[in-house]
Amino acid sequence: MLAEFEDRMQKAIEATQRSFNTIRTGRANASILDRVTVEYYNTPTPLKSLASISVPDASTITVQPFDPSSLTLIEKAISLSDIGLTPNNDGKLIRLNVPPLTSERRQEFVKLAAKYAEEGKVSIRNVRRDAIDEVRKQEKSSEISEDESRDLQDDIQKMTDKYTAKVDKLLVEKEKDIKTV
């Protein structure tokens, strides 16, 4: 039973890591476009399934659409997204110049990273709550004893603490990455 809850906590860690990857750090990184969706034939479609995204140098991201007719749709979607980059369309591909971050912008990104970390911790605590509810239900229906229930609840809390610490560690790494000029 604990393995199922641990798996859910691990998934929360992975989701938090994906969220962190969408935050700019001053260097070009293709994963900042992961959250961009394009209205392609009236269907929201992830950008990475419509184009190849590459990073030719530390300050440029290029987006090469598989279907040239989708170029303006992709340009519009990037403009409307919250990544803060202006697309340059040359008719065949889109270039995104990643400017160096100002100290104010870095602070905003640190706050955003903290918000993502808190969301990760909340989802881990939700898993803990579900696990403890399950243990209490089993105790109530006499499937397990009171001592077993207490031991399981302690194990669940230890697991929660371990995964919360992992989120904190990821946050510290991301903050360091953001603050590095």
Q: How many CA atoms lie within 13 A of 145 on its CB side?
A: 3
> Mean pLDDT for the chain?
89
pLDDT in tens, 6-39: 999 999 999 999 888 888 777 778 888 888 888 8
CATH code, residues 27-97:
3.30.1360.40
The listed CATH number (1.10.132.20, 3.40.50.10800, 3.40.50.720, 3.50.50.60) that belongs to domain 2-20+102-179? 1.10.132.20
Asked whether residue 127 carries a pLDDT value surpassing 90, the answer given is yes
Q: How many CA atoms lie within 13 A of 40 on its CB side?
A: 19
Give CATH 1.10.132.20 domain extents, the chain: 2-20+102-179
Asked whether residue 181 carries a pLDDT value surpassing 70, the answer given is no
Give CATH 3.30.1360.40 domain extents, the chain: 27-97
Among 23-32, 70-79, 154-163, which stretch is predicted with the lowest mean pLDDT?
Answer: 23-32
Q: What does the pLDDT read at residue 83?
A: 77
| Contact call for residues 167 and 120 (beta carbons, < 8 A) | yes
pLDDT in tens, 90-111: 888 999 888 887 888 888 889 9
Q: What does the pLDDT read at residue 10?
A: 94
